[in-house]
Amino acid sequence: MLSALLVMAAIAIVLGAVLGFAAIKFRTEGNPLVDKIDAILPQTQCGQCSYPGCKPYATAIAAGEADINRCPPGGEEGIQKLADLLGVEFKPFGGDTAAPKAKSVAFIDEAICIGCTLCIQACPVDAIAGAAKQMHTIIAAECTGCELCVAPCPVDCISMLVIEEKITNWKWKYPVYSLTTKK
Amino acid sequence: MEISRVLIDNEKMRTLYHFHGGIHPPSNKSQSTQVAIARAPLPSRLVVPLHQHAGEAAKPIVQVGDHVLKGQLIGMPDGFVSSAVHAPTSGTITAIDMQLIAHPSGLPNLCATLIPDGKEEWIPHKAIDYRDHSSAELQQLLRMAGVVGLGGAAFPSDIKLRIGKQKITSLILNGAECEPYITCDDMLMRERAAEIVQGAEMLRFMLDASEVLIGIEDNKPEAIAALKQAIADRGMNHEVVAIPTIYPGGSAKQLIRVLTGLEVPSGKLPTDIGVQCFNVATAYSVYRAFAQGEPLLSRIVTIAGNVRQAQNYEALIGTPIDELIALGVALPDTNGYIMGGPMMGIPLPAVHVPVVKATNCVIAASDRLFPPPPPALPCIRCTRCVEVCPADLQPQDLFWFAQSKEFGRAQAFSLFDCIECGACSYVCPSHIPLVQYYRFAKSEIRAREHDKQLADQARERHEYREHRIEREKQEKADKLAAKEKAAQAAKLNSLQQPTPQQQAELADLEAHRAHIRELAQSGVEHPED
Amino acid sequence: MLFSPFISKPDNVSQIMLKVLLALLPGIALYVWYFGPAILVSITLASLTALGTEALMLRLRNRPIAPFLKDNSALLTGWLLALSIPPLAPWWLIVVGTAFAIAVAKHLYGGLGNNLFNPAMVGYAVLIISFPMQMTHWIAPHGLGQIELGFFDQLEYIFLGVLPHNATLDAITMATPLDTLKTHLHLDQSVQQILDMPIYGQLAGHGSEMVAWGFLCGGLYLLATRIISWHIPVAYLGTLFVIAGIFHLLDPGHYVAPLFHWFSGAAMLGAFFILTDPVSSPTTNKGRLIFAAGAGLITYLIRAFGGFPDGTAFATLLMNICVPLIVLYTQPKVFGKKSPKDNPVHKEGRP
């Protein structure tokens, strides 16, 4: 009886020491889960999730405060990836979250622009060039299509243009492969 | 694995190697080798795409209405991997706009339309002696002459010659031409062998390669003989090697393996193992570029398939394919056209699209020649595809992952080592369009990687912006705090250490206040109020 | 027009399966020769049930019926099951087994190409566990039974369970050679004594060894036409031979010779027709060797030490489970990579 207890205690001490050592040795800085979630999010910084950006949304998901289906630009695929990462069920879009839209970039009608800089202040990724009283231009390659610049414009000169399919961004389609009888 | 030793020049023996898999589709080459290469008549109009090579598109440097001469530069190379585009004949530029081209997407791309004046008036050009120039100068000349790989991929040749410090042992000329129907290289080798071997010598000079191997499938004895003769006539030591006829023996990696026994490491270039490979037709254009000073304006195109007379034509780049097909006369039941061979070619979105540098063959298709495949059945994992895969892949697994869009797993099973030769689809008893799934998966993965890059860039910019705003806020706050602090400090200063004069003033003030209080208490109105 | 390649080899699943069915014919012919035409009744019943169940399941799953019925795969499952169970078993036995094989083992896993287990062997396993009694109604070969039933008497027994008034079940049926061996070994008889019994022929069971020869011939045809690769039959029969040989050398009185194992039970059928089912066997050559060697080992262990007389079915099913793992760890070297370990699938550890 006593020897059994001693053996158990010894095992507990050894394993505890190993665990403690591992905790120190393999300590990770920061919160890797937030970074992993953030890596999945599309970085549009659009705020459609009701958080002020992708990182805050990632933090909220990691803390279990937000659902995984609140990111329209990430699409259903984004939800699926989050579901896989977090080991939870896939959840379709719904409720107060907007449905995903086709990818687009903002476009400033330079004839109307009055150079008020409000859009520059709204742009989360500094993709608008221009100065006060000067025309502004969207740097299309850096625009994430978040639409945050559209609302602040006092003269409604910003529109969202859907990115068209060109030879340079064309993708092979999923092969048509129907084995289901049409119903 | 050594498979055979072949006799070279009746004395030297060369060991040939084997690659895994391969197929033997009906070759259908004899139909178009009966007659010599003919020069296609000048077409009514030429549509010259500005992006007909791998890499970045050329920038148009002519305007609508300009009169151009034959060989005049109309598209300037733009970017590191890019190539020049020239006017194939003299005439007037009537449009620079989006036109349908031979692309699987069926989408238009920027093209210059040229109406020939029929004079074929050349821009001044002159031959050079390549031995008087450095390799770098010659590379620049090739770039400006628009010389790209003519085997099908249209990769700018100057980039392939830019080898840095790597030592090139073997320069390989690819005359295998393993795809069915295509005979443009075969006929070129038969008729212009002398130019090819001289072009090969120029390439060898630029690469400083120790040996030149010309690999030709053994179903082209005339081409082999012609090249051997041309080499002997010039006393060169290039080796013509007859290799076994098997598809895809003409794929660069497989050809290198057969000739040298070396495998180009996955994700690396042939130059990493001291080998470089060019198509025989590319060597021919290099010869034309240096020895005659002519940029790449035309190429040999095989017209074959469902036509009355299959034949090879030397056609100007930009020739509408329908005018070329008309020379062979398509049979009435023709229901489509393929650019390239039946294994890797692409269906043409319309028959009037132009010939480009990559157009080695145009096949008129009919249900008789290419019966529509029966409906696909599920994969039964019979592994016939594994048996024929020249890249030693597991096509049935790649299909499974591509079908279920498990791209990560597809990549883990070496999807990107697939050369899309189509051998797996050819043998599949379930008639699954396997290559189509691989193309889909690859393009989806590339698009995702691109999106990921953009997202990372956006994250960085956003974080920088946050940081900047935070800093500005901090700076503002700091400034405000500093100001306040200064003000307070001044106040405190004044309170704590009053000067005698201040003390006197304060005493005065106090006395005054006391006086007011007194007056207030006594109820008498202050005289000063 | 679709995309390249625009040409394909004139070959299809239906033809492959048809060739496998054809390859079964020599074995079936010898079966009829030695055991009478009752097996044809089982095959017919199995075929009808297989096609019917297949059609029903396809309909339930909203799949087109015609192309799948024509692929001959259901037929093959039915035939293999029919060849594995006693011909004189009541009609509903083969019907239940085939229906289970097609409906559960094939279609519930996703239909053609998706079944983890060999459907015919699943059907067999269900029957031998659920109806062990009926699974012993093996016909005695010609000249060995006390009474030989005519074809119509057999039909009557299969469908109505009625025997002619002068016959008993024991008089017309007989334990299989493997079963007999096992029973008599338990009675402490030596192998030599047992093999002297009239039920045994040159190598194994009288008659049944000839049927095995028939399957061997069919299997060689499949090898010659490259419908199957050599890896599975060679590794299976090789392993069975080596292990049986070792035990036989150690104690010939208790362990029967390796050739006996080859030519009895479902060994030949398994080696060429069952284990080689492409859907439920590994896709790599090395994997096929491991898979079949494992099956050979398990078959021998069950035969020599297990509770069932034959082990081919269970060996197949047990090895079927291992297929995904075997395939994962036997990936060949990809062109341009140094070794199989260089494949990303191995670098990541998990695909």
- Position C211: which residue type? V
Q: Contacts of residue A171 in chain C, CB cutoff 8 Å?
A: none
Note whether B24 contacts A: Cβ–Cβ < 8 A: no
Structural tokens at position B474: 């901090």
Q: Contacts of residue A52 in chain B, CB cutoff 8 Å?
A: none
SS3 sequence, chain C? CCCCCCCCCCCCHHHHHHHHHHHHHHHHHHHHHHHCCHHHHHHHHHHHHHHHHHHHHHHHCCCCCHHHHCCCHHHHHHHHHHHHCCCCCCHHHHHHHHHHHHHHHHHCCCCCCCCCCCHHHHHHHHHHHHCCCHHHCCECCCCCCCCCCCHHHHHHHHHHCCCCCCCCHHHHECCCHHHHHHHHHHCCCCHHHHHCCCCECCCCECCHHHHHHHHHHHHHHHHHCCCCCCHHHHHHHHHHHHHHHHHHHHCCCCCCCHHHHHCCCCHHHHHHHHCCCCCCCCCCHHHHHHHHHHHHHHHHHHHHHCCCCCCHHHHHHHHHHHHHHHHHHCCCCCCCCCCHHHCHHHHCCCC
Say if CB C199 and CB C174 are below 8 A apart.
yes
Report the C-alpha gap between B143 and B84 in whole angstroms. 6
Note whether C349 contacts A: Cβ–Cβ < 8 A: no
Neighbours of C21 (CB within 10 A): 18
| Residues linked to residue B73 through DSSP beta bridges, in sequence order | B86
- What pLDDT does A182 receive? 39
Q: How far is residue B315 CA from its own chain's centroid?
A: 22
Least confident interval from A138-152, B132-146, C142-156? C142-156
Closest CA of chain C from A73, distance in Å: 28
Mean of pLDDT over chain C: 89
**Residue B60 pLDDT class (50, 70, 90 cuts):** very high
Beta pairing class for B38-39 and B311-316: parallel
**Residue A183 pLDDT class (50, 70, 90 cuts):** very low
Q: Which CATH architecture has domain A104-162?
A: 2-Layer Sandwich (3.30)
Per the CB < 8 Å rule, is A127 touching B461?
A: yes
Of the candidates B389, B385, B470, B387, which has an alpha carbon nearest to the alpha carbon of residue B431? B385
B267, HSE (Cβ side, Cα atoms, 13 Å): 9
Neighbours of B528 (CB within 10 A): 6
Per the CB < 8 Å rule, is B414 touching C334?
A: yes
SS3 sequence, B252-313? HHHHHHHHHCCCCCCCCCHHHHCEEEEEHHHHHHHHHHHHCCCCCCEEEEEEEECECCCEEE
Q: Which of B433, B451, B458 is the closest to A45 by Cβ? A: B458
- What pLDDT does C349 receive? 41
Least confident interval from A37-51, A148-162, C159-173? C159-173
Mutate to test the interface with C, among B430, B432, B438, B439 (most CBs of C within 10 A): B430
Q: Which residues of C275-308 are buried (b: 16+ CB within 10 A; e: fewer)?
A: bbbbbbbbbbbbbbbbbbbbbbbbbbebbbeeeb
Report the C-alpha gap between A144 and A46 in whole angstroms. 8
Cα first-last separation, chain A: 72
A175, HSE (Cβ side, Cα atoms, 13 Å): 24
Q: Answer whether CATH 1.10.15.40 is correct for domain A32-86.
A: yes
Of the candidates C256, C132, C248, which has an alpha carbon nearest to the alpha carbon of residue C184? C256
Say if CB B85 and CB B146 are below 8 A apart.
yes
Question: Subunits that touch chain C (at least 3 Cβ pairs < 8 angstroms)?
Answer: A, B
Note whether A44 contacts B: Cβ–Cβ < 8 A: yes
Query: What Cα–Cα distance (Å) separates residue A82 from each residue in A30, A79, B450, C84?
Result: 19, 5, 20, 49
Q: Which of A43, A53, A126 is the closest to B455 by Cβ? A: A43
Quick check: B202 pLDDT over 90? Answer: yes
Report the C-alpha gap between A125 and C64 in whole angstroms. 52
Q: Which residues of B310-349 are buried (b: 16+ CB within 10 A; e: fewer)?
A: bbbbbbbbbbbbbbbbebbebeeebebbbbbbbbbbbbbb
**Residue A175 pLDDT class (50, 70, 90 cuts):** confident
Report the C-alpha gap between A66 and A62 in whole angstroms. 8
**Residue C80 pLDDT class (50, 70, 90 cuts):** very high
Closest CA of chain C from A167, distance in Å: 17
* Total-model pTM: 0.87
Determine what percent of chain C is predicted with pLDDT higher than 70. 96
Per the CB < 8 Å rule, is B461 touching A54?
A: no
Q: Which residue of B has its CA nearest to C6?
A: B342
**What does the domain layout of chain A look like in residue ranges?**
32-86, 104-162
Q: What is the pLDDT of residues A121-153, one digit of tens each?
A: 888 888 888 888 777 888 888 888 888 888 888
Q: How far is residue B318 CA from its own chain's centroid?
A: 19
Say if CB B228 and CB B190 are below 8 A apart.
no
Higher pLDDT among residues B515 and B190, named by residue = B190
Category of A64 on φ-ψ map: left (φ > 0), alpha (ψ -120 to 50) or beta? left
- What pLDDT does B350 receive? 92
Closest CA of chain C from A178, distance in Å: 9
∠ CA B342-B345-B350 to the nearest 5 degrees? Answer: 110
Per the CB < 8 Å rule, is B265 touching C336?
A: yes
Q: What is the pLDDT of residues B450-503, one digit of tens each?
A: 988 988 888 888 888 888 888 989 999 989 988 888 888 887 776 666 677 777
Q: Which residue of A has its CA nearest to B460?
A: A125
Q: Contacts of residue A180 in chain C, CB cutoff 8 Å?
A: 62-63
Mean of pLDDT over chain A: 84
Q: Contacts of residue B104 in chain C, CB cutoff 8 Å?
A: 3
For residues B391-400, give the mean pLDDT. Answer: 95
Closest CA of chain B from C32, distance in Å: 31
Say if CB B306 and CB B334 are below 8 A apart.
yes
∠ CA A124-A125-A129 to the nearest 5 degrees? Answer: 105
- What pLDDT does B438 receive? 96
Write the CB contacts of B273 (distance below 8 Å, at least 6 apart in sequence): B256, B262, B263, B264, B265
- Position A161: which residue type? L
Per the CB < 8 Å rule, is A175 touching B51?
A: no
Radius of gyration of chain B (CA): 36
Query: What Cα–Cα distance (Å) separates residue C167 from each residue in B215, C142, C163, C180?
Result: 79, 16, 6, 22
The total number of residues written for chain C in this structure = 351
Question: Subunits that touch chain A (at least 3 Cβ pairs < 8 angstroms)?
Answer: B, C
Q: What is the pLDDT of residues C235-261, one digit of tens each?
A: 999 999 999 999 999 998 889 889 999
Q: What is the pLDDT of residues C28-70, one digit of tens each?
A: 999 999 888 889 999 999 999 999 999 999 999 988 888 888 8
Mutate to test the interface with B, among C3, C6, C280, C283 (most CBs of B within 10 A): C6
Note whether C8 contacts A: Cβ–Cβ < 8 A: no
Note whether B268 contacts C: Cβ–Cβ < 8 A: yes
Neighbours of A104 (CB within 10 A): 15
Closest CA of chain A from B343, distance in Å: 17
Q: Contacts of residue B374 in chain C, CB cutoff 8 Å?
A: 12, 67
Give the DSSP per-residue string, B315-327: EETT-BHHHHHHH
For residues B204-222, give the mean pLDDT. Answer: 94
- Position B354: which residue type? P
Closest CA of chain C from B92, distance in Å: 36
Neighbours of B371 (CB within 10 A): 12
Write the CB contacts of B67 (distance below 8 Å, at least 6 apart in sequence): B90, B91, B92, B93, B117
Per the CB < 8 Å rule, is A43 touching B440?
A: no
Query: What Cα–Cα distance (Å) separates residue B296 from each residue in B75, B84, B128, B301?
Result: 13, 9, 16, 14
Question: Subunits that touch chain B (at least 3 Cβ pairs < 8 angstroms)?
Answer: A, C
Q: Which residue of A has its CA nearest to C59?
A: A181
Q: Contacts of residue C4 in chain B, CB cutoff 8 Å?
A: 338, 340-347, 422, 435
Tell me: cis bond preceding C5? Omega within 30 of 0 counts.
Answer: yes
Mutate to test the interface with B, among A59, A167, A174, A180 (most CBs of B within 10 A): A167
Structural tokens at position C322: 């291992």
Per the CB < 8 Å rule, is B380 touching C2?
A: no
Determine what percent of chain B is predicted with pLDDT higher than 90. 76
Q: Which residues of B125-161 are buried (b: 16+ CB within 10 A; e: fewer)?
A: eeeeebeebebeebbebbbbbbbbbbbbebbbbbbbb
